[in-house]
Structure 1
Amino acid sequence: MIRHVVIWELLATEGPEKAAAKITITEALESLVPKIFQIRALSVNPDVGVEGNWDISLTADFDSIDDLLAYKRHPEHVIVGGVIRSLTIRRAAIDFEV
């Protein structure tokens, strides 16, 4: 199994804008589960507010690297990626076997 982990730093730094961005990203990513059959598991988690941490993370599991690549190329994922890019300033990712 391949685990895909992504973390983002949001453009909004506080208040209602930051909370709204977290909700938008969470809903957008969770909407992919019924649309992309290669996703085995997916969770989106906002940081609990520890100073210096990134703001929100994605953890998604796939049966294979090919399934991960299919997810990354899927048109719905591309759309969601655009939404996320509009709300974030930095992204880091790692893919590994579990």
Structure 2
Amino acid sequence: MITHIVFFKLSNPTPEGIATVREKLLSMQGKIAELRHLEAGIDVIRSERSYDVALYTRFDSLDDLQAYQVHPYHAGEVVPLMKSLCSSIVAVDYEG
């Protein structure tokens, strides 16, 4: 199993913008067959080091993660929106 975690820091972290990011991430459910698990949460601590939104996804294999990365919905709709709204996006991928 591959876990893919991404953190998003918005350029302008308004409640509306944060909600838009979370909703768009959750909209991938049911559209990308390789996704085995999908969660998106909004940070509740709001410290200086916090990111605004976290994405937690799981895949059966690295090949499935790669298929997700280039899937038309992810690459064509989700990624461009995230890039337009975020000042920083970081990710970690691990097996286990």
Bucket of the pairwise TM-score, normalised by the shorter protein = over 0.9
> Does the 8 A contact of 2:6 with 2:90 survive in 1?
yes
Q: Which runs of structure 2 are paired with 1:6-85 in the superposition (5 Å)?
A: 6-13=6-13, 18-52=14-48, 53-78=50-75, 79-85=77-83
In the alignment, the residues of structure 2 paired with residue 20 and residue 64 of structure 1 have an alpha-carbon distance, to the nearest angstrom, of 34
Pairwise CA distance, 1:57: 0.6
In the alignment, the residues of structure 1 paired with residue 41 and residue 2 of structure 2 have an alpha-carbon distance, to the nearest angstrom, of 19
In the alignment, the residues of structure 1 paired with residue 45 and residue 10 of structure 2 have an alpha-carbon distance, to the nearest angstrom, of 13
Q: Secondary structure at the match of 2:83?
A: helix
Q: CA RMSD in A?
A: 1.0
Give the unaligned 5+ runs of structure 1.
none
TM-score (norm 2): 0.92
How many residues end up aligned between the 2 structures? Answer: 94
Q: Secondary structure at the match of 2:78?
A: helix
In the alignment, the residues of structure 2 paired with residue 96 and residue 35 of structure 1 have an alpha-carbon distance, to the nearest angstrom, of 23
The C-alpha deviation readout for 1:19-68, integer Å capped at 9, x for no partner, is 11111111111111111010000100111133121111100000000000
TM-score (norm 1): 0.90
Give the unaligned 5+ runs of structure 2.
none
Question: Which amino acid in the other structure matches residue 81 of structure 1?
Answer: V
